[in-house]
Structure 1
Amino acid sequence: MRCPACLLLWLLLAAGSAAAAEQKTPAGDLQAIATKFVDRLAAGDFATAVKSFDPTMTAALPPDKLAEVWKSLNAQAGPFLKQTGARAAKESKYQVIFVACAFEKAVLEAKIVFDESKRIAGLFFVPPPGASEYRPPAYDRPEAYGEARLRVGRGDWTLPGTLLIPAGPGPVPGIVLVPGSGPLDRDETIGPNRPFRDLASGLASRGVAVLRYDKRTLVHARRLAGKRDTLTLHEETVADAVEAVRLLRRSRGVDGGRVFVLGHSLGGVALPRIAALEPGIAGFVMLATPSRPLQDVYREQMAYLFGLDGVVTDEERARLESIGREVERVDHPESASPSGADDLPLGLGRAYWDDLRRHDASEAAVLLEGPVLVMQGGRDYQVTREDFEGWRRLLAEKSNVTFELYPSLNHLFIEGEGRSTPDEYHVAGHVAVQVVADLAEWLKGRPAATTPRT
């Protein structure tokens, strides 16, 4: 849900943003492998390209999935034109080659991560250095709050996070920001945009404490790659969000009875499960949250993207039919073929999809205790007005629900005009000030939770 072209592509675009130690000269042999790999992508030779993968990557991105990623990337950035250079870096024990790629509409770097055996252990498409420079919004008033770096969770799965605490007397209300799908950082970085950083600074400037954190799928990506057959939304999102709520409640200057949770896109789907594990949350914010099953939203996204240019080619039509069959297997597990996860949408395993089917988020949301705020961008093609109207119907019997629709905003709640496309995610912008103001007013106007906390 939280992706420029589809969930899988968002995962590849959003990840790998951590700083790398630059090397003075590229590692020649790895550079040759990396540039040849990109040549094969451009030539459509995906069967040969995957022969450079390590076992984890081979399982996650077989030739047909790799082809889907490349075609989706071309749908966003335009046709591939040429390579324009390469550079090397080192991240932990991994060697990384960045291959600069010129597309018709954008310049991106293919970030290719190598293990000690010179096999490709990671693949990401990221903006080049300097292209993603962030400039704070006008509503950010740094003098109005303090900032603390901390760790969310415990044991082997701890995550780095940032807490913004308003200056002045407390205690103040607080909110945990739960990100969408993919290995996102605490800012929900995509290109030059940082929607969670905008929200955090805007809310803290208005008297609300905000805790945000890097996702487990970013910080512990390698460990989780070996668990794809058992990974569920609980491990991806729910467990860490619960730990973040508990941490925020204990934080100095925060009113533990007025801690809220905001979920963006897939993060909103997790809200009922977070509430079930941590009673006494003061309220919930659904930011562009689907009211329909994930697989149906994914299929609709792909149909929208293939139709953006007004023409659906035979190849695109065949891909849509293939996606339809994948979605059918989610809804009817008995129809799955022996190849398993490769026959399911987005390369996610059977455990993930079965877990989503067992936990119907739309039904569970009706049982949420406490006030709910549903916010939706009218230009959002990933989570659409159909989902917003779905929440109106599902939550119609609840008296403490507020609905806010912003006609000109996209999935990141950034202003725009016309039909929303993936290209606009790479144009610098900020979460609209009206969204920040409405959210702050709603949070500060809600009372403390009445449900006993554990």
Structure 2
Amino acid sequence: MSSLNFENLKALAERFVSQLLQKNYDRAASQFDDQMKTAFPESELKKSWQRLTLPAGDLIQMGVLQTAEMEGHRIVSVRCQFELAAIDVQLVFNSQGQISGLSLIPSKTEYHPPAYVDTSTFREVEVTIGKGKWAVPGTLTIPNNSSDNTEPFPGVVLVHGSGPNDRDETIGPNKIFRDLVWGLASKGIGVLRYDKRTLKHASEFTEDIVSKMTVKEEVIEDALLAVNLMRETPEIDSSRVFVLGHSLGASVAPRIGEQDTDLAGLIIMAGTIRPLEDTILEQFTYLYSLAGSMTDEQKATLESLKVKVARVKDPELSEGVPSKELPLGISATYFLDLRSHPTKEILKNLSLPMLILQGGRDYQVSPTQDFQVWEDELKSRKNVSFHIFPSLNHLFIEGKGKSTPQEYGVEGHVSEEVIEDISQWLKKFE
């Protein structure tokens, strides 16, 4: 047996997975032994990895899960926790420290409903939002009739954050939207949630389509179709249909309200009101500062990001600017669309009732620079309510200390206080 111990092999395993995450498939495949290079060539490695990870969203954390020794083979499992799924990379090492076996295993996380949910009080129906090429599957949750809970019920349509979210807005072991849906349905509120177009039709989003995509195609079109479907549901009061947006969904909710003036109101959960490029820079600065001092590489990344942010703000920005010159590789078309629909301007002509909710520990949407602006813009309106929850993070899950991406990988639930706040606000419209 090789002099390589498990600490050496763990480092090799993490290096291999890091190379996959960085799309350095040739370097990753170079660690295979001769048999693996034949059985699992670089092209096949790339295809297998992308098939599993493209629909999984952004990486939250990565680390060695376990090690084992069987019949002279040393096995190291590395777990990659993405927003929508966990994937275990199981590596078998030979005596020379080469990879002689590889398994990519999607890991399912069981959902445990929070205590405030009573599943006997509602039923769920599978539905389809829209028609044709971009139709997406969804779930309509309808409360059951009882002596004190009779239809027609108010209806809420949930609109996701950024990325290829599923209908539960799964992030690690957490299902934010399922918490909201089942919590609200337990209180007599109908809710509609659905898979995002960018998840259901991930393979259809070619580089050309992505380069021309805006939040209209990513979010707004399906949200408007979902609202119409909700209105047509017999058990739902068509005059009491609301949109609840989280993160990006909250940021563009005013645009949805602008386009559908028959909505009963908007619920804004962690919505940015500043330019997207500013929040991206702020997030990276925060994350890099968590360890105390930044590395030279992190400082260089931030400087590069500042240049890209300045490029977005350039009045001469055009759709022809390559996405690699802009933050997170987002297209100029996307940024230009957001620039031409500033939320502050939309709010000036939007008279819809609104409930604005914010977690006090949220590092993705600032309690001071975002929530405070919503409040400043709308505090004079009697039909707008505000609530900040000091101990909640961006997912509206309770925690302590500085919020980090790692806590998204720990199972939790949307605070019952949030469910109660929303349901009490909706009761005003009975």
TM-score by length of 1: 0.74
Match of 2:188 in 1: 207
Relative to structure 2, which stretch is displaced further, 208-217 or 37-46?
Answer: 37-46
Distance in 2 of aligned mates of 1:141 and 1:39 = 41
**Match for 1:369: what amino acid?**
S
Counterpart of 1:328? 310
> Which has more radius of gyration?
2
Which residue is equivalent to 1:223? 204
Q: Distance in 2 between matches of 1:286 and 1:50?
A: 43
Instruction: Note if contact 1:101-1:108 (Cα within 8 Å) is conserved in structure 2.
Output: no
Instruction: Give the whole-Å Cα distance in 2 for the aligned partners of 1:353 and 1:446.
Output: 36
Which of 77, 87, 101 is matched with 2:61 structurally? 77
Aligned pair partner of 1:175 in 156, 160, 164: 156
Q: How many residues were matched structurally?
A: 368
> Structure 2: how far apart are the matches of 1:222 and 1:316?
32
- Give the match for residue 364 of structure 1: 346
Task: Confirm or deny that 1:101 pairs with 2:78.
Answer: yes
Q: 1:423 aligns with which of 389, 396, 406?
A: 406
Post-superposition shift, 1:399? 2.2
Residue among 120, 144, 147 paired with 2:121:
144
> Is the deviation greater in 180-189 or in 379-388?
379-388
Please point out which of 381, 386, 400 is paired with 1:403. 386
- Give the percent of matched residue pairs that are identical in Structure 1 and Structure 2: 44
Residues 413 and 432 in structure 1, CA contact (< 8 A), matched pair in contact too: yes
Question: Which amino acid counterpart does residue 136 of structure 1 have in structure 2?
Answer: P
Deviation at 1:164, TM superposition (A): 0.8
Q: How far apart, CA to CA, are the structure 2 residues paired with 1:286 and 1:414?
A: 16
Deviations 1:203-243 (A, max 9, x none): 01101100000000100111123411101000000000000
Distance 1:82 1:152, change over 3 A: closer
Give CA-to-partner distance per residue, 1:32-61, whole Å, 9 cap, x none.
Answer: xxx99945717978495699689x99xx9x
CA distance in 2, matches of 1:366, 1:337: 28
Q: 1:38 to 1:161 in 2, by over 3 A?
A: same
1:215 to 1:49, Cα distance in 2 relative to 1, 3 A: farther
Q: Does structure 1 residue 41 correspond to structure 2 residue 19? A: yes
- In structure 2, what is the Cα distance between the partners aligned to 1:330 and 1:374? 28
Match status 1:246 vs 2:228: yes
Give the gaps of 5 or more residues in structure 1: 1-34, 61-65, 67-71, 86-98, 112-125, 448-454
CA contact (8 A) 2:258 2:346 kept: no
> Does the 8 A contact of 1:84 with 1:102 survive in 2?
no
Separation in 1, partners of 2:237, 2:318:
49
CA-CA distance at 1:396 after TM superposition? 2.7
Give the corresponding residue for 1:270.
Answer: 252
Distance in 2 (CA, whole Å) between partners of 1:335 and 1:370 is 33
The 8 Å contact of residues 319 and 333 in structure 2, kept in 1 or not, is answered as no
1:266/1:290 contact within 8 Å kept: yes
Q: 1:47 to 1:426 in 2, by over 3 A?
A: closer
CA contact (8 A) 1:376 1:405 kept: yes
Give the number of the structure with larger relative contact order, counting CA–CA contacts within 8 Å between residues 6 or more apart: 1
Find the counterpart in structure 2 of residue 188 from structure 1.
169
Aligned alpha-carbon RMSD (Å): 3.3
Distance 1:322 1:110, change over 3 A: farther
Q: Distance in 2 between matches of 1:166 and 1:102?
A: 38
Report how far residue 84 of structure 1 moved: 6.4
**Matches of 1:258 and 1:320 in 2, distance apart?**
45
Aligned to 2:32: none
Structure 1 residues 102 and 50: CA distance shift in structure 2, 3 A: closer
Q: Report the TM-score when normalising by structure 2.
A: 0.78
Is 168-177 or 388-397 further displaced after alignment?
A: 388-397
- Residue 384 of structure 1 corresponds to 366
Q: 2:265 aligns with which of 257, 268, 283?
A: 283
Moved more, 388-397 or 361-370: 361-370
Inter-partner Cα distance in structure 2 for 1:397 and 1:415: 30
Measured at CA, do residues 103 and 235 of structure 1 come closer, stay the same or move farther in structure 2, by a change above 3 Å?
A: closer
2:396 and 2:414 in contact (8 A); partners too: yes
Structure 2: how far apart are the matches of 1:148 and 1:45? Answer: 40
